[in-house]
Chains A and B, each alone.
Chain A
Amino acid sequence: MNALLAGLAVLIIGDSHMVTPNHLITTLHDDLVAQGATVDTYGMCGAVAADWIYPATVSCGKAERHGKEGPEIDRTANTPTYQIETLLAKHKPNLVIVEMGDTMAAYGQRDFPQAWIYQQVHALTGRITAQNIPCVWVGPPWGTEGTSYHKTFTRVKQMSEFLATVVAPCQFIDSTQYSKAGEWPTIDGQHLTAAGYKTWGADITSSLDQIAPQLEQRP
């Protein structure tokens, strides 16, 4: 148990890496609970940063999990999005973890839409930090190439480097540091195997342990 994480109210939000039972909604969530934190996790499949700010719908499901309860998965088509300000008001977290990158990286497209990414990332971090809540942004893992997701190592690297410069004042965790490109197997190019999510969740928790002393505490 980490003394700095113990007792924290942690809100985790993310994309499809949070929407299936054996994904981060289980592994990262459990790891942080084991550290003594109170954890609430929300995932929205295919969601970009703006979807957490402005009401919309997501087409491929969403999920949430609270404390030691199991995940609640909603695969309803066109289900309304979770809104960050509602979640902040509801859970009053001491730390927000945002896991997002794959949905905005424009895989399969020649041009990297950095202005479009910047606008919504800055808007989302602004909503969180406006309430003086420290936050950590977790970037995407390498994944694998040659699938229908069109994910490439070059674009993942580009996205990770870009996020590193634009998520401030949130801290950034670069998930590509945890493995070599293509080292973690995937089931479809983007989503890891159950073993991969276990490793990724443990690695993120280890990084949070190291970052924890740097996180400004809520006044």
Chain B
Amino acid sequence: MSPVMTRRHRRLTGLALLAVAAALQGGATDAAGDQLYPSGPPNGVAYIRFVNLAPREVTIVSPSAKIAIPADDQHRVGQFDAVTPGVALTGSAKLGEASKPIDLKLVPNEFVTVVATAEGANGLTLTVFRDVPTEFNALKSSLALFNVDKGCAQAQLVAGGSHMSVIAGVAPGAVGRRMVNPVKAELGVACSDPAQATPAKLGQLAAGERYSVFVAAAGASGHEVVAQRDEQALFRP
């Protein structure tokens, strides 16, 4: 088994445990009661993922599992794992000696992204993005811009040589989302002058897929952009 496979398996196992623990805490009550056969997940579904935008590995610890999120671009964005809505998801994130608590409750159909950055008083900040998508379309691609940069007051996602605005006015700590045609476009993230956008390399967008673009602070006045297609773990009720 390759190192990547080993690490991915560990991630899946860890987050699956987190999800199972959440379901158990919730009592797993079946609202349908005497239903003959299942139809849909009995407790609804929400999704959580962790993203590491710090320069070193971040560890997420839950009551039932511990996972490490590497700091390289290929692995720093975790996959969405299904959890039970309304159940407290507790734990902590650790970056070196720094630690921050995690205590979240998700609503049905919510996608929560917890982003760790190496900033703040003790060198670790968690930014929680809450997104309840209402539009799903297999003919379109869904683009989301997550602004993790406190110095970027109005982040925007621009496309093409003319820097056409795709998503605009995303404040720090907020997420903007838009459905677009599945095209191959040169995307970039700008905080002021669109002509100075930092590239967000997603390549050819695929119909029906969802993509995330993160902008974070880098250095004195620069911006770091991480962009990739969303991955979602399979969930069976």
Residues of A within 8 A of B (CB): 16, 45-46, 48, 50-51, 54, 56, 59-60, 102-122, 125-126, 148-150, 162, 165-169, 188
Contacts and interface: CB of A to CB of B under 8 A. Distances in A.
A148 B36 contact: yes
A85 to B, nearest CB: 15
Contacts of B136: 114-115, 118, 162, 165-166
Contact of A102 (B33, B39, B137): B39
Contact of B138 (A54, A56, A111, A125): A125
Nearest to B85: A111
A103 to B, nearest CB: 6
23 contacts: A16-B37, A48-B236, A50-B234, A50-B236, A51-B236, A56-B236, A60-B37, A104-B39, A105-B39, A106-B44, A107-B40, A108-B39, A110-B31, A113-B108, A113-B109, A116-B40, A118-B136, A119-B234, A119-B235, A120-B234, A125-B138, A162-B136, A169-B138
A111 B108 contact: yes
Contact of A115 (B31, B32, B133, B138): B133
**Range, interface on chain B:** 20 to 34
Main secondary structure of the interface of B (DSSP, over half): loop
B234 A115 contact: no
A76 to B, nearest CB: 16
B39 A107 contact: yes
Contacts of B108: 110-111, 113
B38 interface: yes
Interface in B1-60: 31-42, 44-45, 47
A115 B38 contact: no
Contacts of A108: 31-33, 35, 39
B204 to A, nearest CB: 15
B103 to A, nearest CB: 22
Contacts of A121: 138
